[in-house]
Chain A
């Protein structure tokens, strides 16, 4: 079993839809949770960063962490074609190395 599981998709939704991306994990030591966004033929870039449980909102993006269920989510409201990318969850426990999910390829159709 992988430490971090993420459905690779692909996921295709119409413009304006609410998108939900999810990851599950098995390591209870994880405390830091991130979402990276990767556009085609580019390197990943940090999108959202959350420590421990709870929600964090940044514009149209909301990151949720449920440590009791070992489950994290990224919600995108009012999705735009420019949101089309691969989204990778990532997590770490303190000074341990970052562990990435496989990434979900998302397409927003105009």
Chain B
């Protein structure tokens, strides 16, 4: 398997623009996670899905953030409108089980909002 795939790898946008990040999990993994990583706050869980259904979105910082998983092989994280403080690396990860099961991370999307 190719592992978790994320696109784009880098995104530079201007404040106020809509940003869409994409993720393809490993086939057969029922759980998908979206994380954000910054120097100040480390790795933060934003939202996770089980079998395409959002289970916990308590980490989503504001209504400007939304995530969808229309099918088992695709998820999006959207920021609208984007702000400079959203600049971070966004990771998608997938796993077979929840909790303590090994999570496999994608390479991340480095987002810069000017």
Residues of A within 8 A of B (CB): 6, 8, 31-32, 34, 41-46, 49, 51, 88, 92-98, 100-103
Contact = CB atoms under 8 A, between A and B. Distances in A.
A88 B43 contact: yes
Interface of B: 4, 41-43, 45, 48, 56, 91, 93, 97-100, 102-103, 105-108, 110
Contact of A43 (B41, B45, B100, B106): B106
12 contacts: A6-B42, A31-B100, A32-B100, A41-B110, A43-B91, A45-B105, A46-B103, A49-B100, A51-B100, A95-B99, A97-B99, A100-B42
B69 to A, nearest CB: 16
A102 B43 CA distance: 6
Contact of A94 (B45, B48, B99): B99
